Amino acid sequence: MPIPMPISEPIAVSVHPPESPPLRLHLLVPLALLGLFSTALLLFRLQYSGSPYFSFLIWNLFLALIPLGVSTVFRLGQSRFQGPVWLGFCLLFWLPFFPNAPYIVTDLIHLRHPLNMPVWFDALLIFAFALCGLMAGFLSLWDFEEAIAQRWNGWLGGVFALSSLFLAGVGIYLGRFLRWNSWDLLRHPRAVLADTLTPFLQPQAFLSVLAVIGFIFLFQACVYLCFRQMLNPPREIAREATR
């Protein structure tokens, strides 16, 4: 007599879409507090001196935060839009605005003008805005470097980061010395390209322009390396911290 076999019940498998990356509130909240502190310093200066001289720092900081906004949208969209097309699409919007992040550091040049506030206060004011913009820009750069390293390899991610920092140096030169901005790259691309290439075709101007871009690039690379190591410490240090 045949022995009846037990019928196994079907196992319900729930398919969930990939989770979106976390918003990194442990990084964004301190960055927001630094932005609020910078704004408070500016408002205090406006109230105390009656001069709106440094009000342009608000606009500069807004432009500096655009790359972080783009990289955050990229991270949140990775669960829905996967592949190099989404990465390239976001980089197309990110790269023209990335130089605005480290650009605020060069606003320290305004300290050479006689102002109606103590120089230490204005230095602190500009440095606070510059630090906020720099950290926001580097966090966005880290987002894309990490994405490229995970999709391809870490070497390619490092090349991308260094290339972006060099292009940011070129962008800072165009903005500080030739007074171009990110919007001009969209409105007058030929004129911006001509001004970018002209110094490299004139031997008398080549070395001075290359020195400006090179020193800015080296400064960014050193600071970004420190920033990167703090976000992604060596495995030995990470293990010790978790013990």
What is the per-residue DSSP string for 221-241? HHHHHHHHHHHS--HHHHHHH
**Residue 109 CB contacts under 8 Å (≥ 6 apart), including other chains:** 176
Looking at the domain assignment, is residue 128 inside a domain? yes
pLDDT at residue number 15:
38
pLDDT bucket at 238, cuts 50 / 70 / 90:
very low
Neighbours of 151 (CB within 10 A): 13
161-213 pLDDT, tens digit per residue, is 999 999 999 989 888 887 777 767 777 777 777 777 777 777 677 788 889 99
Q: In the chain, how many domains are there?
A: 1
Per-residue confidence band for 23, with pLDDT thresholds at 50, 70 and 90: low
Cα separation values, 118 from 45, 113, 218, Å: 10, 12, 31
Q: How far apart are CA 53 and CA 228, in angstroms?
A: 34
Residue 147's contacts (CB-CB under 8 Å, 6 or more residues apart) are 74, 78, 87
What gap in Å lies between CA 20 and CA 78, rounded to an integer? 7
Tens digit of pLDDT for each residue in 28-47? 999 999 999 999 999 999 99
Q: Is residue 21 part of a domain?
A: no
Region class of 13: left (phi > 0), else alpha (psi between -120 and 50), else beta: beta
Return all residues near 126 (Cβ < 8 A) that are at least 6 apart: 54, 57, 104, 107, 108, 110, 111
Inside any domain, residue 108 = yes
Residue 177 DSSP class: T
> What letter does residue 106 receive in the DSSP assignment?
G
The residue assigned the tokens 């196994």 is: 8
Higher-pLDDT residue of 235, 46: 46
**Amino acid identity, residue 168?**
A
Is residue 10 in a domain?
A: no
Domain that holds residue 215: 26-242
What pLDDT does residue 218 have? 96
Please check whether residue 2 lies inside any domain of the structure: no
Q: Is the pTM of this model over 0.85?
A: no
Q: Which of 58-67, 96-105, 110-119, 185-194 has the lowest mean pLDDT?
A: 185-194
Residues 211 and 217: their CA atoms lie apart, in Å, by: 10
Examine residue 39 and state whether it is found in any structural domain, yes or no: yes
| 40: number of Cβ within 10 Å | 11
Polymer length of the chain: 243
* Residue 143 within any structural domain of the chain: yes
Q: Is the pLDDT of residue 6 over 80?
A: no
Q: Any idea of the CA torsion for 44, 49, 54, 55, to the nearest 10 degrees?
A: 70
Q: Say if residue 75's pLDDT is above 70.
A: yes
Q: Does 121 fall in a domain?
A: yes
